[in-house]
Amino acid sequence: MGQFNFLDYEENFSLEDQLKTLREEELLDFWEDSHSFSKILNEDKTTSTNHYEKLILQELTIRTCLKLLIK
């Protein structure tokens, strides 16, 4: 699992902005970590990880669209 230093920048940058700086592998690691933490904390996966999942999927979609436009 990846290591993320989001807490250092939490006050200055939104989660969306922080996700934009990650490589695709790091985005997927972050998604995996959010699911793992949810299980550890015994939280309801649908509420705790949906926000992260939505943002990660949105970022991956944007990147895919940009790649297709460049071709």
Q: Does 55 have pLDDT greater than 70? A: yes
pTM (2 d.p.): 0.65
In a domain, 57, yes or no: yes
13: domain range?
Answer: 6-70
Q: Per residue in 15-50, pLDDT tens?
A: 888 899 999 899 889 888 887 877 777 665 555 567
Q: Which residue has the higher pLDDT, 68 or 41?
A: 68
Provide mean pLDDT across the span 62-68: 92
In a domain, 1, yes or no: no
Please provide residue 66's backbone torsions phi and psi, each rounded to the nearest 5 degrees.
Answer: -65, -40
Distance CA 20, CA 50 (A): 18
Say what the pLDDT of residue 52 is.
Answer: 81
Q: Determine contact, residues 4/33, Cβ cutoff 8 Å.
A: yes
Total tally of structural domains belonging to the chain: 1
Q: Does 3 have pLDDT greater than 80? A: no
In a domain, 33, yes or no: yes
